[in-house]
Amino acid sequence: MRECKRGVMGSGIVTVIRVLMVSFIALVVLGLSGVFYTHYIDVRSVEAGIMARNLIECVAPEGAVNLDSYSVKETNEILDYCGYSDFSDRFYVRMNFYQGDGSPIQGKIDEFSQGDPGLLWVVSFFKENEDKITSNEALKSQPGHFKKVYPITIYPGAKGQVRVEVLVKDE
């Protein structure tokens, strides 16, 4: 039995070429997809905004709130009251209720909060030094921050405002 060495050599070369082509295609696909997975996207501020909206919907459904219906425990643990107890270690929430247009003359009538208020100095630090911080790694430790004023009706029908501030810790 005589073997055809040319045929064996030819199929070996074709196999090597096929393996190289598949490897090249795999490297190109993995290289292009790697660009999308290494890009850092900060969603903490968006997360804070979503939490603020959800808390407003919990405390003042349809824009009306009866502050007398909340106990002191509920006002100091507003995340737990609204069903977000799993997130209480990551978030700081403060809701200040004002009667009328929220002017200092009329004053604050109630406050709901939960979390570590020590995050506020971190937010002020980053705001004061925004132009001085150039490291992307340092910016990753900036907490997400959301602050907004919502008009509400305070029982029994007085107009008012709630100022919501939500901070999200870096992970």
Q: Do 96 and 32 have their domain in common? A: no
Total structural domains within the chain: 2
Give pLDDT tens digits along the chain (171 positions).
556 666 566 677 888 899 999 999 998 888 877 767 666 677 888 899 999 999 999 988 888 888 888 887 777 888 888 888 888 788 899 999 888 865 655 677 888 888 888 878 878 887 787 777 777 666 667 778 899 998 988 887 788 888 999 998 876
- What pLDDT score does 62 carry? 85
Q: Is 103 found in the same domain as 30?
A: no
Q: How far is CA 148 from CA 8, 96, 145, 163, in A?
A: 75, 11, 10, 6
Q: How far apart are the first and last CA of the chain?
A: 71
Same domain as 98, residue 24: no
pTM beyond 0.75:
no
Regarding whether 130 and 82 lie in a shared domain, the answer is yes
Domain span holding position 100: 44-168
Pairing relationship of beta strands 158-168 and 144-154 according to DSSP bridges: antiparallel
Return the closest-CA partner of residue 65 out of 109, 120, 127, 117. 109
| Residues 17 and 62 grouped into a single domain | no
